[in-house]
Each structure stands twice: as structure tokens, then as C-alpha cells.
Structure 1
Amino acid sequence: MRPRQGPSREEDAINTHRSAPELRFGVNYTPRRGWFHAWHDFDPGLAREDLAQIAGLGLDHVRVFHLWPLLQPNRTLVRASAVDQLVRLADLAAECGLDVLVDGVQGHLSSFDFYPEWTRSWHHRNVFTDPEAIEAQALLLRTLGRALSGHPRLLGLQLGNELNNLVEHNPVSVAEVDHYLDTLLAAARDGLGDGAGLVTHSAYDAAWYGDDHPFTPQASARKGDLTTVHPWVFSADCARRYGPRSPQVHHLAEYGTELAAAYATDPARPVWVQETGAPEPHIPAADAPDFARATLLNAAGCARLWGVTWWCSHDVDRSLADFPELEYTLGLFDSAGRPKPIAKALSATVAELRATPGPPPTRTTALVLHCTPSTRSVSGPGGAFFDAWMRLRQEGTRPAVVLAERAADTAYLAARGITELVDGK
């Protein structure tokens, strides 16, 4: 079957949708003083200032991160004082009218890996496969869940930030990843209790685009209470390949949401754009406000979107050494707490979306993805499927994505409202 024709200008496509009223918009919280090293000498007053600035943009939630070595310096010890810091931060967010998602195992943050000493050097353990290391992480997540359960502004508990970044130093198979995720998701749920919040996990884009990467799209789209995606413009050199103002960049989060929806077995499973941002020089500062606006508007045209959480709240202070250059400029606020033009654009766009409620149009046309674990890169920037989807989008179609194995499943297609299939080969 062929898609409908009739190209339209990108700006027309951006502005013809209506977002669902329950969409959530937030930011990943990075303390402006000391970055995440601020946990060594946590200052509630400074944290509240940061959170009040975030709330002032009209955002409704934050995603927060503690450091694994500080939470669990010994395999059998979870420090009560460090857990109390997280609970205190959730309380401060609530005072500012913000909901909170807590990530448990960090793990990886902004190019740095944080391991407790009991996993390193003379005590080296593979964090994904060593049974005692897995049980230690389960202990941490159960402890965090019990401390946070019942908090009035808790969104939920996530296993950790982009845990698949750790595979470089912790070799693991697909089956071992599945066991690891299942074990830790069960521990987090046990800690929180039934119905006490979301239990989720996250992975960076190699899970979707990386050939034979051990964290799979199926694991992302079928484990946990919803699917999280982190569609970064530097993945597979997207912004450099197509240009910072290109449709491919402006529609990247929308595409990532639709790709994730294709891998879910439940047609109604929500997808959370949990990280996206405007890293320089991939997105020049002058283009960042337009990028933020387009990203939110386009993603909001996806029926399964849960919400968008921007990375990140505050720039890394340049007094801190050894970060990749792009990490110093990702904030909505600079390191002194001043809002940047991108913050104003994001805030205005969120207000606009909230003022125009209603479900987005059903995507009746879907591009069929033929993909194996060793050819996953076809669906990433530069891949044939990615380019085919973007061509349809520029022609005026709002394509969904369907896996080839589901293309003949009429009940499944009907549940998603799909009436036309276009071969993505």
C-alpha cells in the first residue's frame, strides 16, 4: 500500500496536532553548585532554590539522581543518611509543586561512571552478572522503594540512569541483561509496593540502534511499567549528518517515540521521552529555542506519549574539570541560575500545549520495519529505515512504525488504528 501524498511545510505539520491533556513536562535535575558531587555536602537551601527555578518555568516534575558509591559504600550497607537526602529532596520538590522520579543506581552520569569500591580493583565484580552484585543492587532498590513509598509527589522508582553505558566494562549477554532487569524491577516493585508508583528502567540509544547491543529494544519496550527513550541528536551523528535545523533533528524525539511503540506488545503502552536536549555544538545556542519548540510539538503528536523530560536543569559550572564540552551548556539555566533563551522557549511551548488539549490524530499509515539484532542500525540516523520514515514525514504523512512480524496481525493493527502499511525496505 502507498502512503498519501501531498507535501506540506514542516511548520504546518508541527502546528496541526493537539496534545493530550495528561501529558507531563519536566526536567532532569542537575544541581547548579557542585553538580552531583553536591550530595557529598547536601544543602537543602540551595536545592530548593534550584527546584523553585524549575517550577517557575511551569514544569510539573523532576527526575533526580543520587550517586551509587555514596548510597551503598559496602555491598550489604545502604547508608540511611544518604537515603534520607533523597527523601528530603523529594520533600523540597513537593514544596515547589513538583513530582519526582528517583533513579537508583548511578552508575553513569554525563560521561562519568560511578562504581562503589566493592565492585572494583581487587574486588572486581561484573555488575550485570555477578549474583552478589545483582542482589546488592536489589537491596538498594528495595530500600529506596520502602523509603519513598507513600510520598505524595512520587512518580516512581527507576533502576538507574542508562545502565547500558556500563556494558563497556561489564560484558553481558542478552539473556543475562533480561535476568538482571527482571530481578531489579521486581526488587523495586517489592520496595514501593503495588500501585505506589511507576517502576521503570532506561537505556541510551544503542539499545535501539546498536547492532547486537545486549540491551534490546524488546527489553526497553516490554519490561517495566512504561517505555523510556533518550533520543539524543548526537546519537549516530544525527545532527552533524543532517544539520541542526533539519527535519531529521526536529522530529527525532517523535521518531523515537513511534519506534518504541512498535516494539511494545501492548498497543496502549506509554512512551516517555525521558532525556532530550540541545548539546552544543551539535545544536548551536542560537538554534536551541527553535529545536526545543519543535521537539515538544512534534513529540506531542504521538498518541502513546506519556511526557517529555528535558536534559537538563542547570549547566555544569566550568570550574569543574574534564567534562565533554557539550555537558557545560545543556542546562535550561546557566550555572548562576539565570534562565537561558531555551528555557523561555520550552516554558512557552509547554504552556501552549496545555492550552490546546485533545488527543492527537491517529496515525493510520505505518512504515514496516524489517530488522534483526545484527541489523538494528537500519533504524538509526543514517539507516535506510530511518531515512524512509523521515521522507514520509516530510511529505506530510505522520507515520507510525510496525515490526514486520506484526504486519499481518489484523487485530493488532486495528488496535493501533493502522489502515495502511508501507514497506520500509
Structure 2
Amino acid sequence: MSSAVRFGVNYTPSQGWFHHWLDFDLDSVRADLDSIAELGLDHIRVFPLWPYFQPNRTLIRPKAVEQLVQLVDAAGERGLDVNVDGLQGHLSSFDYLPAWTRTWHRRNLFTDPDVLDGQAAYLRTLAAALADRPNFIGMTLGNEINQFSAGPHPDPDRATEEQIGAWLERMLAACAEGAPGKPHLHAEYDATWYQDDMPFTPGQAARRGAMTAVHSWVFNGTAQRHGRTSVPSEHHAAYLVELSKAWADEPHRPVWLQEVGAPQPLVPAEHAAAFAEATIANVLDCPDLWGITWWCSHDVSRELADFPELEYGLGLLTNDRQPKDIALVLAEAAREPTYAPAPRSTALVVPADPSVRSVCGPGGPVFDAYFRLVADGARPATVLDVRADDKEHLAARGITEVVSPDQVLPTPQGDTSS
């Protein structure tokens, strides 16, 4: 059956970046949203900065919440739905955590009872403020908050898989209390799928919340190993979508490609549009896709210091709101939002044990086998080893053939272009 796919963008304000919450200018926001709506996109994902909104554990600033509601209303006036990320958290290499969780008040983000009370109150408050807005999609708990729970973060808040599971349940429940009936979810960067000691696990990502979210960035070793026009680079987002399905209990659980971008210099600016075109076409060949949300809307101003170089040019639009070639690619895709991909009948076996999930990452045998299959013309899905003989599960997903990595020729040979 055909269905609609959502096309949107992660909203990065053109003026002041996310620090715009400190000097909120609704006219500037409206102009940004106009430039996004003109591309024909249907939603945005927005990022209140947690320390600005909740500077004290028992103070959630009413003015900040009011400004968030104004932004959501302005988006609705332009036909844009809005997903709101709560716990920011981490954005573009910078951490934004309230002072009541750090240094002299150092408390674990995932296990301390007082911190959990504060987080739940904050998420509940944001959700409740937006619950009656028809264009409010729902909450995402935070942006890649798993990066705080393990290395390579320089000062991680360590927690066990069980403690993270309890944290996810409580925070999702808080969102549901604030805005009942909305599709609330959580989202992590790809260490959830690739890093053996990450306490946020694939099973949690694929089973908790209203849908599964994946964030695809080829600077994780994929483009470095294989080049920007290689099968692994151009299919990496599709791979994460399909990899996530191995752990899902629901055969057709929706998957949201919530972040994907074209990072320089691995994808030079003059090749960004071609990379986006290939990435989108390949993801649209994945069944059960909820939507594609590009990172990001507007470039970071060069007036702002200390960002990694790649962050300055990731926008679909320039800092003065002019569309780039890559924006036109997304606009073209959004003009035909229905799709009907065939089931993926060949499934590659993935180990269910999260302590060995690195086999799924760049250079791992599952990763390499998957892209060897793609290079040979297959359209692989994935299945957990513990379900590889489950005929009912396989049939529900349309899988008729199961192969293991050792049955597939090793390491795909991509180009080495930069």
C-alpha cells in the first residue's frame, strides 16, 4: 500500500542560532519559517535549550515556554507541524546542561531522583503547553542524549541498561501526561546501534516510544573508509532504518529518519545536492518510513565562534535565507510524498546481544555484508539471530530468505573520493 512520507527540516534559527531564545525575535522566526515553508516541507523539529528554559530545578521560565508556543503557532500559520526536543542537551558539539546538574551540584542525569523529578516536570510542562495545538506532533525526549551516558564524552553520567530503561519509561510517561495521545519518542546518535558499551540499546530504541528514530551521519567512519559516492555512504541512512527493524517487536513499526545531513569536507558543498538526492532515493526504498527530516534549515553564522567547521555549512538555506541546490532536492522530493516500496524479502542476520553490536558499525562484518548485498543488487532487511527461524515473524515482514554475514563476500569496495 502507498502511504505519505513526511518531509521536514531541523530548525536552526538564522539569527543567533539556538541562542535566539535569549533574545527571542518572533519576526525573525517568522521570516525563517517562511523560507522553510516555501520549500514545500511539512514539519520542523525545534530545540529549546534546557538551561535557558529551566535554569533552576524548580523554575521553568513561563516566558520561555510562552515563546516556544509562539514559535509553534507561527509554524502552524505556515502549514508546518512541529516536533519539540526537550532536554538540550547536546547540539553541534556543545553541551547545554543546567547548572543544577554540574560541578558543585554534580548529579547523574539518568539516575539521581531529584534530577529525574526536574526533568519529568520540564518535559510535562512543555508538552502540556502545546497539547491543544493541532500542529504539535509530539515530544522527543532530547537530542542524542545518549552521548552523556558513555565515552567518548569526556565526563559521562554512567548508567546501566536497566537504569536507562527506567529513565526512558519515566520521561516518556511525563510527556504523555502533558500531552496525552501524541506520538512521543526518544532519539539517539548511532552509538546506540554501533557501540558495545552504550547503555542506550537497540532494543530500547526500537521498542520504546511511538516510533523508532535514527540519526545518520557518514562522518562516523563510513565516508572516511568508502568515499562520498560509495554504496555504504549513499545507503547509510537506509541501512540504519533497516537495521533498526531487527530489534522491533512490531513488524511494521514506523521509523523516522530524524537527522541526516551532508557534512563537509567529506561531502564537499558542490556535491551536497547529489549526496542528498541519492540518500533520499535510497531511504524511500525502505518500507515503514515515517519521514525524513534534514539537518538543518539555515547555516550557522560565521559571526559565531568555535563550531566545528562542518557545522557552518549544513543548512538547506544560507544565513540570509537563500535556498541552496540541496534545498531544491528536498523540495522536489516533498512534492511527491507518497511511496510504495516493495517488501525487502532478503534479511541479513544481526546478533541480538548488544554487547557485540559493533559488528554492525563501519568495518564490522554485518555492516560490510549488508553493503556487499546492496552492491550486488539486493534490497536487504535485517533480522535478529534469535528470530532467524521464526516463520511467523519472517512472514509478517515479507522475508523469504535469511543469510548470515559469513555467507556474503567481505568488505564492499567503494570509491575513495572526498
- TM-score tier after normalising by the smaller chain length: over 0.9
| Count of paired positions | 401
Find the aligned partners of 2:342 and 2:142 in 1 and give their Cα distance: 34
Q: Which has the higher contact order (CA 8 A, sep 6+)?
A: 1
1:185-214 per-position Cα deviation (integer Å, ceiling 9, x unaligned): 111111101x2x211001001000011211
Within the candidate set 218, 223, 228, 1:233 is matched to 218
Could you say what secondary structure the match of 2:293 adopts? strand
- 1:251 match: 235
1:128 aligned residue (110, 113, 127): 110
Contact 1:261-1:304 within 8 A present in 2 as well: no
How far apart, in 1, do the equivalents of 2:359 and 2:54 lie? 40
Residue 245 of structure 1 contacts residue 287 of structure 1 at CA under 8 Å; is this kept in 2? Answer: no
Task: Tell me what 1:386 maps to.
Answer: 367
2:120 is aligned to 138
Q: Deviations over 1:145-181 (max 9, x none)?
A: 1101020101111111111121232111111111111
Secondary structure of 2:403's partner? strand
**Quick check: 1:87 aligned with 2:72?**
no
Alignment deviations for residues 217-245 of structure 1 (CA, whole Å, 9 cap, x no partner): 0111111000000011112x111110011
Query: Which secondary structure does the structure 2 equivalent of 1:230 belong to?
Result: strand
Residue 304 of structure 1 deviates from its aligned partner by 1.3
Aligned-partner residue type, residue 75 of structure 1:
R
Residues 268 and 77 of structure 1, relative CA distance in 2, 3 Å threshold: same
Q: Deviations over 1:287-327 (max 9, x none)?
A: 11111111111101111111100000011111100101111
Residues 238, 249 of structure 1: 8 Å contact kept: yes
1:336 is aligned to 320
| Corresponding residue for residue 183 of structure 2 | 198
Q: Distance in 2 between matches of 1:224 and 1:94?
A: 24
Contact 2:5 2:339 in 1 (8 A): no
C-alpha separation in 1, matches of 2:188 and 2:240: 13
Match of 2:3, SS state, is coil
Whole-Å separation in 2 of the counterparts to 1:146 and 1:348: 35
- Paired residues of 1:367 and 1:421 also in contact (CA < 8 A): yes
Q: Which residue of the partner structure matches residue 315 of structure 1? A: 299
Q: Does 1:422 align with 2:409?
A: no
Question: Which residue is equivalent to 1:324?
Answer: 308
1-structure distance, mates of 2:405, 2:291: 27
User: Does structure 1 residue 57 correspond to structure 2 residue 39?
Assistant: yes
Gaps of 5+ in 1: 1-18
* Matched ranges for 1:275-354 at <5 A: 275-351=259-335, 353-354=336-337
Deviation at 1:374, TM superposition (A): 2.6
Amino acid at match of 1:373: P
- CA–CA distance in 1 between the matches of 2:403 and 2:113? 45
The residue aligned with 2:14 is 32
TM-score normalised by L of structure 1: 0.93
Of residues 340-349 and 319-328 in structure 1, the stretch that sits farther from structure 2 once superposed is: 340-349
The Cα of 1:249 is off from its aligned counterpart by 0.8
Query: Match for 1:378: what amino acid?
Result: V
Q: Using the alignment, how far apart are the partners of 2:405 and 2:177 within structure 1? A: 42
Asked whether the 8 Å contact 2:351–2:357 carries over to 1, the reply is no
Shift of 1:333: 0.8
Alignment of 1:177-196 (within 5 A): 177-193=164-180, 195=181
Q: In structure 1, what is the Cα distance between the partners aligned to 2:147 and 2:253?
A: 25
Matching residue within 157, 161, 167 for 1:174: 161
Partner of 1:119: 101
Distance in 2 (CA, whole Å) between partners of 1:135 and 1:65 is 21
Amino acid across the alignment from 1:291 = F
Q: Is the partner of 1:240 in helix, strand or coil?
A: helix
- 1:362-381 superposed matches below 5 A: 362-370=343-351, 372-381=353-362
The equivalent residue for 1:411 is: 392
In 2: Cα distance, 1:260 partner to 1:370 partner: 12
CA RMSD of aligned residues (A): 1.1
Deviation readout 1:73-120 (Å, 9 max, x if unpaired): 111111111111111100010111100000111011111111111112
Which of 223, 244, 248 in structure 2 is aligned with 1:260?
244
**Does structure 2 conserve the Cα–Cα contact (< 8 Å) formed by 1:74 and 1:116?**
yes
Distance of 1:263 and 1:372 partners within structure 2: 11
* One-letter amino acid matched to 1:207: T
Percent identity, aligned pairs only? 54
Instruction: Please give the per-residue CA displacement for 1:29-86, whole angstroms capped at 9, x wherever unaligned.
Output: 0001110000001000000111111111111000000110111111111111111111
Taking a change above 3 Å as real, the CA distance of residues 226 and 136 of structure 1, as seen in their structure-2 partners, is same
SS of corresponding position for 1:74: coil
- Paired with 1:231 and 1:377, the residues of 2 have a C-alpha distance of 16
CA distance in 1, matches of 2:3, 2:15: 35
> In 2, distance between residues paired with 1:114 and 1:45?
26
**1:300-357: per-residue Cα shift (whole Å, max 9, x none)?**
1111111100000011111100101111111001112111111112212332x43xx4
Deviation at 1:358, TM superposition (A): 4.3
Write the distance in 1 (CA, Å) between the matches of 2:351 and 2:247.
Answer: 12
State the alpha-carbon separation in 2 of the partners of residues 37 and 55 from structure 1.
22
| Structure 1 residue aligned with 2:341 | 360
Hey, what's the Cα distance between the residues in 1 that align with 2:102 and 2:351? 41
